[in-house]
Structure 1
Amino acid sequence: MKLEATELAIGYGRERIGENLSFTLGPDEIVCLLGPNGCGKTTLFKTLLGLITRLGGKLELGGADISRLARQDIARAIAYVPQAHVPPFPFEVLEVVLMGRTSQLGAFAQPSARDRDAALAALDTIGIEHLAGRDYARLSGGQRQLVLIARALAQEAPLLVMDEPTASLDFGNRLAVLDRIATLARRGSGRGVILSTHDPDQALSLSARVIAMSKGRVLADGPAADVLTPARLSEIYGISLTVERTPSGRRICLPELQSSAATIT
């Protein structure tokens, strides 16, 4: 399954947030959508999910115009992982994950034994099957985020859209979530993942393909090591940045500090 945007224009009503956006998302790849606040990342995701209508260009899912597809057909092809949240009603973790099976059910149908097995398998894949009977609202932020990823997996959609999946998480939980994401689109999985992030280091650690956005347009699209240059990062974020290699071989992004600010007492 492939998602393909060609000269896509996005926005609300007559207000264009972005235009001339062209890219693809296919199986066995992780794509990081990188850019500052207000560059159009969230609006783009809403458009990809069919929640808002594109203002121009083409958007095709499996070769079909996404605007011609039923909501259930889109949900069977694209699963969405929002930022972690606390639901208004108490649910057990397994119940939350079972909600991912909605697109596979007919009107008024109840989850079957197969749906339950799919939900349990998703929890096992993410490594949190031991949380199945826990109160979702009482979990840590990192655990809730892993549950939301399991819910998306239970949906059995070939494409996953993740909106800043590590936002507001502490360092340990952030690493745990990134580790699970890295396994989702491994070669041969048939699954494609696109996630938004403010952290270029995450794209580098995932060895992801990067779509760099600024002011509603795509600045570059390619491997993280090629796209995330000091010049381009400085253009995106408006500050001087450098990309350095650690003794272990990892590449990390660092701000270029002024000599007066770099003095530590």
Structure 2
Amino acid sequence: MQLLEVNDLSFTYGNHEVLKNIDLSIGAGEVLCILGPNGCGKTTLLDCILGVHRLAGLQVYLNGQLLQNINVKEKAKLVSYIPQKHKESFPYRVKEIVVMGRAPYISGFGAPKKEDQEIVYNVLKSLNIEAFAEKIYSRLSGGEAQLVMIARALAQETDLLVMDEPTAALDFKNEGIILSNIIKLVKDQNKSILMATHFPNHAFQLESYGVSVKVAMMKDGEIKYYGKPSEVINEKTIQDIYGVKTQIIRYNNKKTKVVQHSIVSTLE
């Protein structure tokens, strides 16, 4: 059974059809990267999967259950969400932000138990950010804050994580840290990840480190290409999806012992 199944999903805003006949699935320990230009429907697709938009058919299943039949609390035990950006107005400490991920397991008027606090500490430790526990979240750097968002999602103890542009606005070092942690989550904890990204190289990097990864390349609300990165990302498909001429460089990665790919644009 797949953790996520999307069957012939279409969605409209008024008379504007935003998504058309979307089919995709994710199993345990797999990553699916949604690629495409701005406005192609990536975020709307994530919102449909998360239940933000009301759907009318048998289109989205989480762990074998129809999305419409799952209440909010139970849904939060199946899938967690890591936003592109998160602003916090109140001066919460990092551990207080992360413990919010335990909300599905705490009664409405209850307080976090010792077990919840231990889960929070173990999650922070697994991401090597336990030293942040007492820091004020709003004072962290972009990369540190994004790791805290991943920690909050992990505290929910879901098998499926949905990430919307997880490395957006991060510098080169922090981008690498986030991707490294995604690899660890999949390979060490068997997590499954649905990730919208603007960077095809992310999919190539995950594949080169032995992660089971597929890409769905979107254009105008449709998935035009679907499969393994090395099979479907090429100069022709990038030209079609983004309208950009590129060259894909292939070379042997001595560390992973696989052929690695990197995309460079060929400006005219």
The TM-score range, normalised by the shorter chain, is over 0.9
Per-residue deviation, 1:166: 0.3
Q: Which residue of 1 aligns with 2:222?
A: 217
Q: Does 1:193 align with 2:193?
A: yes
Distance between the aligned counterparts of 2:232 and 2:25, measured in 1? 16
Per-residue deviation, 1:146: 0.3
**SS of residue matched to 1:76:** coil
Indicate conservation of the 8 Å contact 1:10/1:56, yes or no: no
Per-residue deviation, 1:256: 2.1
Indicate conservation of the 8 Å contact 1:203/1:210, yes or no: yes
Task: Select which of 235, 257, 261 maps to 2:240.
Answer: 235
| Pairwise CA RMSD | 1.5
Change (3 A) 1:253 1:56: farther
Distance between the aligned counterparts of 1:195 and 1:67, measured in 2? 22
Matched to 2:195, the amino acid is L
Q: What pairs up with 1:74-113 in 2 under 5 angstroms?
A: 74-113=75-114
Per-residue deviation, 1:85: 2.5
Per-residue deviation, 1:54: 2.4
**SS of residue matched to 1:186:** helix
Structure 2 residues without counterparts, runs of 5 or longer:
208-212, 254-258
Task: Using structure 1 for the length normalisation, give the TM-score.
Answer: 0.93
Indicate conservation of the 8 Å contact 1:158/1:191, yes or no: yes
Q: Which residue of 2 aligns with 1:205?
A: 205
Cα deviation digits, residues 188-237 of structure 1 (max 9, x gap): x3421011110111110011311111110011221111111110011010
Cα deviation digits, residues 141-187 of structure 1 (max 9, x gap): 00000000000000001100000000000111111111101111116
Distance between the aligned counterparts of 2:53 and 2:18, measured in 1? 12
Structure 1 residues without counterparts, runs of 5 or longer:
259-265
Indicate conservation of the 8 Å contact 2:34/2:197, yes or no: yes
Distance between the aligned counterparts of 1:221 and 1:134, measured in 2? 42
Per-residue deviation, 1:60: 1.0
Distance between the aligned counterparts of 1:84 and 1:148, measured in 2? 9
Change (3 A) 1:14 1:56: farther
Distance between the aligned counterparts of 2:217 and 2:58, measured in 1? 19
Indicate conservation of the 8 Å contact 1:33/1:211, yes or no: yes
Task: Select which of 245, 257, 260 maps to 2:267.
Answer: 257
Q: Does 1:60 align with 2:70?
A: no
Indicate conservation of the 8 Å contact 1:84/1:148, yes or no: no
Deviates more, 1:216-225 or 1:247-256: 247-256
Distance between the aligned counterparts of 1:108 and 1:256, measured in 2? 58
Cα deviation digits, residues 3-30 of structure 1 (max 9, x gap): 1001011233443201110010121011
Change (3 A) 1:247 1:66: closer
Per-residue deviation, 1:247: 6.1
Distance between the aligned counterparts of 2:137 and 2:183, measured in 1? 24
Indicate conservation of the 8 Å contact 2:58/2:66, yes or no: no
Indicate conservation of the 8 Å contact 1:220/1:227, yes or no: yes
Distance between the aligned counterparts of 2:73 and 2:18, measured in 1? 27
Q: Which residue of 2 aligns with 1:70?
A: 71
Indicate conservation of the 8 Å contact 1:164/1:197, yes or no: yes
Distance between the aligned counterparts of 1:247 and 1:220, measured in 2? 25
Per-residue deviation, 1:43: 0.4
Deviates more, 1:48-57 or 1:33-42: 48-57
Per-residue deviation, 1:239: 1.5
Distance between the aligned counterparts of 1:165 and 1:70, measured in 2? 26
Matched to 1:219, the amino acid is K
Task: Using structure 2 for the length normalisation, give the TM-score.
Answer: 0.92
Indicate conservation of the 8 Å contact 2:32/2:215, yes or no: yes
Q: Which residue of 2 aligns with 1:263?
A: none
Distance between the aligned counterparts of 1:257 and 1:167, measured in 2? 23
Count of residues in correspondence between the two structures: 257
Per-residue deviation, 1:250: 2.6
